Structure 1
Amino acid sequence: MSKNENSLDLIVASDLYSRYSDLLSLTKNSLLLVDLDGKIIQELIPAPNFCRYICQKEESFVCEDYKKHIKDGENGCFICKRGLNNVLMPIKKKEEIVAYITGLQAYSKDTEGERSNGLLSLLAEKKKLSFETVAKMHSELLVVENEKCEVHKQLCSYLSKNISRELEKSEEENTEHRLEQSIEREILKKKINDLEAKNNSLTVNPHFLFNTLNCIARMAYFEHASKTEELIYCLSDLLRYNLQKGESLHTIGTELDNIEKYLYIQKARLRERLEYEIDVPEHIKTCRVPNMILQPIVENAILHGISKKRDGGFIKIYGESDHQKIIIFVADNGNGFPKDVLKKLQSKEKAVGELGFRITDNRIKQYFGDEYGLNIVKSDFSGSTVSITIPSKFMMR
């Protein structure tokens, strides 16, 4: 048995996951232990499916980008050819590298623009997988804040240094080292917890919301307030759908069910000032798209079109398709977009209040390509029409 193999055996036998589980539970990004050949010795936090099945030539070895950095003896952070941020930290024994801690494999805010799907069909063909499968794995890749990338790097660095110490130390542990490790560990935990607290400070537990809404709905039922009961269940379903993973694929039919509940709630608020119709062919409803691409458009129709008219108005959602693309239209007979907002949207400037519109357009382009997305077909005193274009190849057979 080689010296490196003996060291790796010691690392694996030390039950890393149990000893560092408190830190590992604070991140969702990948964290792997690999040897000098790039072989994955232990998955502390699994790699994304896209990296595992698309980028890695063999499931038990890291991708070629990682292998090159390992071979060159590099460490720190690097961005792979797919635009993903990666971390590589060496584990040493007497100054000799015996293994690496790797991880993250996620887009940062700086590299999110790399999230192009132009090569997905080529990757699908190369890997002999369906385009939908590759696209789904690609959509599951995380986008993390730059600060979280740095924290994950510190986490990998802490683990690699600590394991290196453990390989070198004698049976009699050095008390000073233990104190230093404990301080480093607490500082790192505090940084991660601070980030989590900042991200979740305004978040209410969704289970509490749903349980409360359902409780109120049951009270409405016993009080024979059927309209109130139905509205509450619609709101509960709407919130649940909104909380689903932002880049998960859903059928257009599911999107339309969700938007119909939204319109039902708005109808209860605006009463006779709002009428709506949904007329989308059944074969289009099977097409799969990221969730929440319709609601920002319908919200804009109500905000800029219907609510500002004394007599209200009408919203119609309809669709058409050919062998290349599917187009969903959201039309209203309201007042149209305000001129300043319309000008900014058409010139690609940042329009205050139109963040949802712009994010939706970017999401569609990132997923399907620059030739798809949102378009303002019409906007004048007679109303607005916005189109959503996606490829028809995402239609389920």
Structure 2
Amino acid sequence: MSKTDETLKKLMDSNLYSRYSGLLSLSNISLQMVDTRGNILLEFNPSPDFCKFICQEDEMRICSDYISRLEPGKSDRFICQHGLENILLPVNINNQTIGYLVGAQVYSADSEYQKYLIDIMAMAKEKKIEPAAIAKSIAAIKTIEENKIEIHEQICNHISQNIGQDFSQSIINTADKAVVRLSIEKEMLEKKIIDLEAKNMSLVINPHFLFNTLNSIARIAYFEKSHTTEELIYCLSDLLRYNLKQDDELHTIGAEMDNIEKYLYIQKVRYKNRLEYDIDIADQIKAYRIPNMIIQPIVENALIHGITPKRDGGKIKIYAEKYQDNINISVMDNGNGFPKEVLEGLQQSENKLGIGFRSTDKRLKRYFGEQYGLKITKSDYSGSTVTISIPSKPNARR
């Protein structure tokens, strides 16, 4: 047995998985430990079935894209031939590379389209696998936001560095110190991920809405080639651009309302006379600032649970009022109220709010304090009203 293999055996015998599994619970993206020849020694988080059973020649050996990049001391991040994001990090002990951490194996938003370019039939013939099995494995590959991939890379880099440090210092003698250090660093990473999730709350928009909108545009373009098509495309473009803005965490209520109006205009084209809407916000209130995309999910909820189920549709009204030291912005619909099971779900969830509303409530509290947030102020047969409150004091208008 070579010196490197002997070191690896000791490393594998050191409860490596249990020591880092807590940290890896922060991410469910794949991560494996491999030796310098590419043999998989330990799976912290399993790789996708597509990679394991189709791309790899052996279930216990990484794919050729990885193996071609194994160089002592060299880290890498690359996109494989099928468009998946991958990371490669050396594990060094006493200035010698004894193995690598490899993983990610996900699509980013920019590379996801490449899954549709995979020639499934040719691959099925080459691998002697049923096309349906390959298609299913491709569909199961995750698509992850770029910043979450970067967080995963940071976690993995932390692990690769600490494996070497901890092993060099003798695991037995430094166990307590290692636990304390990992606990502190895990807490720091948890806070970073919480901040990341808070930012990503503003990126959420129902994909069904996007697909339906694009279908509406395509149909109108085919039959009419009219001004309506141009207006829809511009509205959708502005809506997505606003949705992705991260330059300023707080946007004016006026900017948020402009965005909501574009969203409702698109939905109006889709639902025609089954949807009416009215936005009544005084100019002096429009100057106050709120988190990006804080109202759109509430409006979408009103449309889905209030207007859509009604045969004749209905109306959504958005209005605001200043009361004492608060500004209250309400989204009201004249639907049938939240369905019983939805309302019960909201009431049974933490803080008596469902996950979407809870995210909105948490974002508002994070910016303005615990006394502010979101409330379902009404929900019965005549409709629903959801209200958010923010401070009206000058120091809140930042």
Q: Distance in 2 between matches of 1:116 and 1:199?
A: 26
Percentage of identical aligned residues: 35
Q: Distance in 2 between matches of 1:12 and 1:156?
A: 17
* Secondary structure, aligned partner of 1:116: helix
Q: After TM superposition, list the pairs within 5 Å mapping 1:240-279 onto structure 2.
A: none
**Superposition deviation, residue 17 in structure 1:** 2.7
> What is the match of residue 134 of structure 2?
134
Aligned 8 A contact 2:108 2:143 in 1: yes
Q: Does 1:5 align with 2:5?
A: yes
How far the C-alpha of 1:164 sits from its partner, in A, is 0.6
Give the deviation of 1:149 after TM superposition.
1.3
> Aligned partners of 1:140 and 1:151: how far apart in 2?
21
- The offset of 1:28, in angstroms, is 1.7
Q: What is the Cα deviation at residue 146 of structure 1?
A: 1.1
Q: TM-score, normalised by structure 2?
A: 0.51
- Provide the rounded CA distance (Å) in 2 between the counterparts of 1:21 and 1:188: 14
Residue deviations 1:76-104 (CA, integer Å, cap 9, x gap): 31111111111111111100000111110
User: CA 1:47–1:350 in structure 2 vs 1: closer, same or farther (change >3 Å)?
Assistant: farther
Q: Answer yes or no: is the 8 Å Cα contact 1:77–1:153 preserved in 2.
A: no
Matched, 1:339 2:226: yes
Tell me whether 158-167 or 112-121 shows the greater mean CA deviation: 112-121
**Aligned AA for 2:169?**
K
Counterpart of 1:47 in 2: which secondary structure?
A: coil
Letter of the 2:186 partner, please give it.
R
Partner in structure 2 of residue 113 of structure 1: 113
For 1:1-397, list aligned pairs within 5 A.
1-71=1-71, 74-170=74-170, 171-173=172-174, 181-199=182-200, 296=212, 339-343=226-230, 351=236
Deviation by residue 1:286-326 (Cα, 9 ceiling, x = unmatched): xxxxxx699827x977xx9xxxxxxxxxxxxxxxxxxxxxx
8 A Cα contact 2:109 2:144, kept in partner: yes
Aligned-partner SS, 2:117: coil
Matched with 1:268 is none
Secondary structure of the residue that 2:27 maps to in structure 1? Answer: coil
8 Å contact from structure 2 (residues 78, 85) kept in 1: yes
Distance 1:129 1:189 in 2: 41
In 2, the alpha carbon distance for the partners of 1:172 and 1:155 equals: 24
State the Cα distance separating 1:176 from its structure 2 match. Answer: 7.7
Query: Helix, strand or coil for the counterpart of 1:36?
Result: coil
Give 1:352 shift: 5.2
Question: Quick check: 1:34–1:41 contact (8 Å CA) kept in 2?
Answer: yes
CA distance in 2, matches of 1:12, 1:99: 11
Deviation at 1:145, TM superposition (A): 1.1
The answer as to whether partners of 2:108 and 2:145 remain within 8 angstroms in 1 is: yes
Q: Give, as a single letter, the amino acid of the residue that structure 2 aligns with 1:342.
A: T
The Cα shift of 1:66 comes to 0.7
> How far off is 1:175 after superposition?
8.4
Distance 1:187 1:37 in 2: 34
8 Å Cα contact 2:50-2:138 kept in structure 1: yes
- Which residue of structure 1 lines up, in the alignment, with residue 377 of structure 2? none
Gaps of 5+ in 2: 241-269, 271-398
State the distance in 2 between where 1:169 and 1:294 align: 54
Which structure's relative contact order is higher, taking Cα pairs within 8 Å and 6+ residues apart? 1
2:32·2:40 contact (CA, 8 Å) conserved in 1? yes
Q: How far is 1:119 from its partner? A: 1.7
- Return the alpha-carbon distance in structure 2 between the equivalents of residues 173 and 331 of structure 1: 66
Residue 284 of structure 1 aligns with which residue?
Answer: none
Secondary structure of the corresponding residue to residue 70 of structure 1? coil
Cross-structure match for 2:295: none
What is the root-mean-square deviation of aligned Cα atoms in Å? 3.8
- Residue 10 of structure 1 deviates from its aligned partner by 2.2
Find the residue that maps to 1:104 and give its secondary structure.
strand
Structure 2: distance between partners of 1:32 and 1:73 = 17
Structure 1 residue runs of 5 or longer lacking an equivalent are: 204-242, 247-291, 305-329, 356-378, 380-397
Q: Structure 2: which amino acid aligns with 1:16?
A: L
Instruction: State whether residues 82 and 118 of structure 2, in contact with CA within 8 Å, keep that contact through their aligned partners in structure 1.
Output: no
Structure 1 residues 189 and 61 mapped into 2: Cα distance closer, same or farther (>3 Å)? same
Deviation string, structure 1 residues 54-75 (Cα, Å, up to 9, x no partner): 2111111000011111146531
User: Aligned partner of 2:12: which letter?
Assistant: V
CA deviation vs aligned residue, 1:209-232 (integer Å, no higher than 9, x gap): xxxxxxxxxxxxxxxxxxxxxxxx
Q: What is the aligned partner in structure 2 of residue 361 from structure 1?
A: none
DSSP 3-state at the match of 2:87: strand
Distance 1:26 1:350 in 2: 37
